[in-house]
Amino acid sequence: MNKWKIAFLVSLPITFLSLVFSLFLLLDNGTAYTYLEVSYNDQVRANEILGNLIVKGGQEFTQKDFLHLLRQEYPDAFIVEEGNTIKIDRNVFEFQNNKLVKAQ
């Protein structure tokens, strides 16, 4: 048998297996990305709902009360009060007329 025939017969299954493996990886990554995106969107919606609940429940507290409660609950956290906002880590609480109006 010719050397090129042997090389062709050896490279054909290797090429086929690498193609199947590549397709499997593509399908697996697509599925994982879809699940990750759905999970992320669900978490964003849950955070919006909780933020709205915090705003409704926090209407009775003034900005100073809210700051005091945060400092009591998280004494080691870096809490910044800038004008009408209170920032703790990535959370931002916005106030208007000394009442909580938005939580992010």
For 50-84, the pLDDT digits (tens) are 888 788 877 788 888 888 888 888 888 898 999 89
Beta pairing partners, 99: 96
- Domain span including residue 28: 3-103
- What's the domain count of the chain? 1
- Rounded CA-CA distance 92/1 in Å is 75
For 79-98, the pLDDT digits (tens) are 899 989 999 888 888 888 88
Which residue matches tokens 């990886």?
25
Average pLDDT, the chain: 89
Percentage of the chain lying above the pLDDT 90 cut = 37
For residue 69, give the 3-state DSSP assignment.
helix
- Rounded CA-CA distance 28/88 in Å is 38
Tell me the backbone φ, ψ of residue 93, rounded to 5 degrees: -115, 125
